[in-house]
């Protein structure tokens, strides 16, 4: 699968759970600053904090903006309640890889939330402060979930200039990052077996 980051909590996941490619967009938004790709097409659109300030996605995608469980085109989706009205946390499974997405949050996970997210292969976690986890708190959350790969989000970018730069989290977690350009390729067979990996994706 291919994973791209669009700033804040927004991602594009291109996956092939069976014969056909499936495109998942998480948290598309209309930026107050910076840029966001135009004319996006998706099969699945997921929102972790409602559809306010969202952009229009082309096609006729399946849309989820509340808690629930679905299987769409071979992608397993579980959205669980966050701690604010309309907020959710996501657990996805595709190509035998599990992905956790914590949305935009700055409070600890409950026992129930940890139970759903613990041990995911890939964790997308907000680390930039400014209404999200600080680097120190994010490190503790990562230690609780124990993913194989950590992808920081809600870090400083042209769309999010007030958030802390990703270097603050890199220093705190103490893992030398693998830097992807604007897309990272993930394969089940290549997932790390021993050490946790940190992947920093350049904003699309």
> Residue 55 has what pLDDT?
82
Over the stretch 22-67, which tens digit does the pLDDT of each residue have? Answer: 999 999 988 877 778 888 999 999 999 887 778 888 889 999 999 9
The secondary structure of the chain as a DSSP string is -EEEE-STT-EEEEE-SSSS-EEEEES----SSS---SS-B-SEEE-SB-STTPPPPBS--EEE-SSEEEEETTEEEEEEE-SSTTBEEEEEEETTEEEEE--S--SPPPHHHHHHHTT-SEEEEE-S-SSS--HHHHHHHHHHH--SEEEEES-SBTTBTTSPPHHHHHHHHT-PPEEESS-EE--GGGS-SSS-EEEEEPB-
Domains plus CATH for the chain?
A: 2-201 (3.60.15.10)
**Which pTM value belongs to this model?**
0.94
Over the stretch 135-180, which tens digit does the pLDDT of each residue have? Answer: 999 999 999 999 999 999 988 887 788 888 899 999 999 999 987 7
């Amino acid at each position: 699968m291919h994973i791209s980051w669009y700033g804040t909590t927004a991602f594009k996941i291109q996956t092939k759970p069976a014969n056909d490619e499936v495109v998942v967009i998480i948290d598309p938004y209309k930026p107050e600053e910076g840029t966001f790709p135009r004319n996006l097409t998706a099969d699945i659109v997921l929102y972790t904090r409602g559809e306010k300030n969202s952009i229009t996605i082309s096609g006729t995608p399946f849309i989820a903006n509340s808690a629930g469980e679905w299987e769409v085109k071979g992608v397993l989706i579980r959205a669980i309640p966050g701690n604010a009205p309309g907020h959710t946390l996501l657990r996805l499974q595709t190509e035998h890889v599990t992905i956790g997405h914590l949305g935009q949050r700055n409070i600890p996970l409950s026992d129930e939330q940890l139970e759903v997210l613990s041990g995911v292969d890939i964790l997308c976690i907000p680390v930039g402060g400014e209404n999200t986890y600080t680097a120190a708190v994010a490190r503790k959350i990562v230690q609780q979930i124990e993913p194989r790969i950590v992808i920081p989000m809600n870090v400083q970018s042209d769309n999010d200039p007030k958030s802390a730069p990703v270097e603050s989290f890199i220093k705190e977690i103490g893992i030398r990052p693998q830097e992807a350009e604007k897309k990272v390729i993930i394969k089940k067979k290549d997932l790390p077996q021993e050490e946790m990996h940190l992947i920093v994706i350049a904003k699309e």
